[in-house]
Amino acid sequence: MPGRYLGPAVTTSSGEGKVPSTSISTGGMATESVIETDTLTKRYGKQLAVDQLSLTVPAGSVFGFLGPNGSGKTTTIRMLMGLIEPTSGRARVLGRPMPRDTRSVLPHVGALIEGPALYGFLSGRDNLLRYDAADPTADPRTRRARAESALDRVGLTAAAGKKAKAYSLGMKQRLGLAAALLQPRRLLVLDEPTNGLDPQGMREIRALIRELASEGTTVFLSSHLLDEIEQVCTHAAVMAQGRLITQGPVAELAAGARGRLVVTTPDTGDAARVLKELGVTDLVVTEDRVTGEPPGAETGMDLAELNAALVGAGVRVRGFGVERASLEDAFVALTGEGFDVAG
- State how far the Cα of 5 lies from the Cα of 314, in Å rounded to an integer: 61
Residue 71 touching ligand ATP (CB under 6 A): yes
Q: Does 47 bind ligand ATP (CB under 6 A)?
A: yes
Stretch that binds ligand ATP, among 26-34, 55-63, 64-72, 323-331 (CB under 6 A): 64-72
Question: Among residues 57 and 190, whose Cβ is nearest to Mg ion?
Answer: 190
Shortest CB 10 distance to ligand ATP, Å:
17
Check residue 70 for interaction with ligand ATP (CB under 6 A).
yes
CA 101 to chain centre: 24
Quick check: 41 binds Mg ion (CB under 5 A)?
no
**Coil, helix or strand at residue 196:** coil
Does 76 interact with Mg ion (rule: CB under 5 A)? Answer: no
Instruction: Find the binder of ligand ATP among 35, 73, 170, 263 (CB under 6 A).
Output: 73
By CB under 6 A, residue 224 contacts ligand ATP: yes
For ligand ATP, give the closer residue by CB, 37 or 268. 37
How far, in Å, CA of 55 to CA of 76, rounded? 10
Q: Cα(233)–Cα(106) distance, rounded to whole angstroms?
A: 23
Q: Rounded CA gap, 302 and 297, in Å?
A: 7
Nearest to ligand ATP of 43, 210 (CB atom): 43
Q: Which amino acid is at 42?
A: K
CA-wise closest residue to 142 among 151, 132, 134, 152: 132
The separation between the first and the last C-alpha atoms of the chain, rounded to the nearest angstrom, is 20
SS3 324: coil
Binding segment for ligand ATP (CB under 6 A), chosen from 67-75, 88-96, 144-152, 171-179, is 67-75
Q: Which does 3 bind (CB under 5 to 8 A by kind): Mg ion, ligand ATP, none?
A: none
Residue 109 exposure: Cα atoms within 13 Å on the Cβ side: 31
CA dist 15 and 5 (Å) reads 18
The site for ligand ATP, by CB under 6 A, has a size of 12
Find which of Mg ion, ligand ATP, none residue 67 binds, CB within 5 to 8 Å per kind: ligand ATP
Considering only residues 292 to 311 of the shown chain, the ones binding ligand ATP according to CB under 6 A are none
Q: In 258-339, which residue ranges form alpha helices assigned H by DSSP? A: 268-277, 303-312, 327-335
Q: Which of 74, 173, 246, 326 binds ligand ATP (CB under 6 A)?
A: 74
In whole angstroms, how close is the CB of 235 to Mg ion at the nearest point?
19
The answer to whether 121 contacts ligand ATP (rule: CB under 6 A) is no
Chain-centre distance for alpha carbon 239: 11
Residues 6+ apart with CB under 8 A from 2: 115, 117
Work out whether 74 is an interface residue with Mg ion (CB under 5 A). yes
d(CA 81, CA 92): 10
249 to 93, 114, 205, 236: CA distances (angstroms): 20, 25, 21, 6
- Phi first, then psi: give them for residue 282, nearest 5 degrees: 50, 45
According to CB under 6 A, which one of 3, 8, 15, 72 is a site residue for ligand ATP?
72
Range list of β-strands (E), 135-184: none
Of the listed pieces 74-82, 154-162, 254-262, 295-303, which binds Mg ion according to CB under 5 A? Answer: 74-82
Cβ nearer to ligand ATP, comparing 227 with 302: 227
Answer for which of 34, 35, 49, 147 binds ligand ATP (CB under 6 A) is 49
Which residue in the set 18, 44, 251, 312 belongs to the binding site for ligand ATP (CB under 6 A)?
44
Using CB atoms, what's the residue nearest to Mg ion?
A: 74
> Is 173 an interacting residue with respect to Mg ion (CB under 5 A)?
no
DSSP secondary structure code for residue 283 in this structure = E
Please report, as ranges, the residues that interact with ligand ATP according to CB under 6 A.
44, 47, 49, 67, 69-75, 224
Residues in contact with Mg ion by the rule CB under 5 A:
73-74
